[in-house]
Chain A
Amino acid sequence: MNVVECEKVTKKQGSVVALNELNIQIKKNTITGLIGRNGAGKTTLLKILAGLWRPTSGHVEVLSVNPFNSLTVSANVAYIDDSMDFPNTLTLSEILQAGKRFYGNWDSQLAERLFEYFSFHPNQLHTHLSKGKASTFNMIFGLAARCEITLFDEPTNGMDASVRKDFNRALLKDYLAYPRTMIISSHHLEELEELLEDILVIKNGKELLHEPIDVIRNYAIGLTGRSELVRQWVTDKQVLYTEEVGANTCYAVVKSEGIPLEKAKQLGMKVTPVSASDVCVYLTNRTTGGIDDVFK
């Protein structure tokens, strides 16, 4: 069953097209990673799903209703980003109490335990928190809300490495105990890919790839060898990336489908795996030129 359906969803902001006829479906009780470059449309998509923004055109259904101005969606979808506007007159513990009043499945015990574990003070104000601390508090709020759908927009922004690790583990443990649908956006895929069931890659406001994580892990392979050999060999293959490494040596990333690996090895090319996060980087790269071309 799908809990999210988008059909030809377009969002224009002035002359900028943030989403361009996007089509996606999200299955119930899956954890999906939403991956894309800055400005690809990740936040726009999540805000539309949360009912905060209205699309310019197209059809959106979240939990079978149009999310914009929907109370059902407000009560059952938690949207967490790093600019959460909590009222400045409330202390952290009052914010948690407000969360309990609003969300039917709110888990006070989980909220309190995480609150203590990450050593927050009940009387602190949200605006006085450091960036990492604010992200951590927002994460606690999002997990404790225990909504049918939880949308995390760059949840680990500003967190230090050990908090990130704790965040991953807390999220997974709570998901195992209370399966629900989660969409997590990030540009750091490698930090969260183990949590994911599916990956949704978007580029220029359009869906590029929506596959189980293991498909992405096996999506491409790297070939290293003498330049003329590699370049000649990959001409009839789907090349995602090439780079000259050292004198007369070329590294090429090609789609692994239908590549005779044994043949490549016999010809003297080195075959290496390409991690899921690198695949996403190559897929979402601009088609022409790199940073070096700016300085020409």
Chain B
Amino acid sequence: MHLLSDGTKPIYVQIAEWIETEILNGNFQADDKVYSQYKLAEIFTINPATAAKGLTILSDEKILYSKRGLGKFVTPEARQLILDKRKNHTLKGLLDEVALEATRLSVGESELQEMLRESMEKIEGEEQ
């Protein structure tokens, strides 16, 4: 992964999202140990305090749990939590922006639905 430091997203958020994606891809299973702040710092050439912040977000959201002295581990419900979060926040946020832009361009609901259907068909076509 390549980190962006143009300010669009704080580095620690990008770290948290990277770990989430690794969990969604199955590279980290429930009760697996994830990388320590120092390992993450080394992988991405970032300050370990920044990496620790990313891990803390995930702990606060119950995606990771700590074992004293051993590190951080994936909770059994992590996958579901990440899916819910991405659906309710990320996807919804994107939709809000789409709705706003559509209103600015006076694109109606049915036209928008048609465009969405085309986009989804395109992705399904690519996956096959």
- Count of A interface residues, CB-CB < 8 Å: 26
Please, which residue of chain B has its CB at the minimum distance from the CB of A268?
B104
- Count of B interface residues, CB-CB < 8 Å: 22
Kindly state whether residue A114 has any CB partner on chain B within 8 Å.
no
Cβ contact of A176, chosen from B7, B9, B48, B100, cutoff 8 A = B48
Q: Is the CB of B7 within 8 A of A274?
A: yes
Kindly state whether residue B8 has any CB partner on chain A within 8 Å.
yes
Please, which residue of chain B has its CB at the minimum distance from the CB of A220?
B7
What secondary structure prevails in chain B residues at the interface with A?
helix
Chain A residues near B3: list those with CB within 8 A: 194
Chain A residues near B48: list those with CB within 8 A: 176
Kindly state whether residue B6 has any CB partner on chain A within 8 Å.
yes
Cβ contact of B7, chosen from A197, A268, A273, cutoff 8 A = A273
Chain B residues near A194: list those with CB within 8 A: 3, 5, 11, 44-47, 50
Q: Is the CB of B38 within 8 A of A190?
A: no
Please, which residue of chain A has its CB at the minimum distance from the CB of B9?
A273
Shortest C-beta distance, B40 to chain A (Å), equals 10
Chain B residues near A275: list those with CB within 8 A: 5-7
Contacts A193-B5, A265-B100 known; A218 to B10 CB distance under 8 Å?
A: yes
Q: Is the CB of A172 within 8 A of B42?
A: yes
Report the bound CA distance from A195 to B11 in whole Å. Answer: 11
Kindly state whether residue B41 has any CB partner on chain A within 8 Å.
yes
Q: Is the CB of B7 within 8 A of A169?
A: no
Kindly state whether residue A7 has any CB partner on chain B within 8 Å.
no
Enumerate A150-176 residues with CB–CB distance to B below 8 Å: 168-169, 172-173, 176
What secondary structure prevails in chain A residues at the interface with B?
helix
Cβ contact of B45, chosen from A168, A197, A266, cutoff 8 A = A168
Please, which residue of chain A has its CB at the minimum distance from the CB of B52?
A197
Chain A residues near B9: list those with CB within 8 A: 273
Shortest C-beta distance, A257 to chain B (Å), equals 16
Cβ contact of B47, chosen from A169, A197, A274, A276, cutoff 8 A = A197
Kindly state whether residue A196 has any CB partner on chain B within 8 Å.
yes
Cβ contact of A278, chosen from B7, B41, B47, cutoff 8 A = B7
Report the bound CA distance from A274 to B7 in whole Å. Answer: 6
Kindly state whether residue B98 has any CB partner on chain A within 8 Å.
no
Q: Mark A264-294, 1 if CB is under 8 A from B, else 0.
A: 0110100001111010000000000000000
Q: Is the CB of B10 within 8 A of A214?
A: yes
Contacts A190-B5, A214-B50 known; A195 to B10 CB distance under 8 Å?
A: no
Enumerate B1-57 residues with CB–CB distance to A below 8 Å: 3, 5-12, 38, 41-42, 44-50, 53
Chain A residues near B10: list those with CB within 8 A: 214, 217-218
Kindly state whether residue A45 has any CB partner on chain B within 8 Å.
no
Q: Is the CB of A197 within 8 A of B50?
A: yes
Please, which residue of chain A has its CB at the minimum distance from the CB of B48?
A176
Other 8 A-B pairs with CB < 8 A, given A169-B45, A176-B38, A194-B45:
A168-B45, A172-B46, A194-B5, A194-B50, A195-B46, A197-B49, A213-B50, A273-B7
Instruction: Show 13 A/B contacts (Cβ-Cβ < 8 Å), sorted by A.
Output: A30-B49, A172-B41, A172-B42, A176-B41, A193-B5, A195-B45, A196-B47, A214-B10, A265-B100, A273-B7, A273-B9, A275-B7, A278-B7
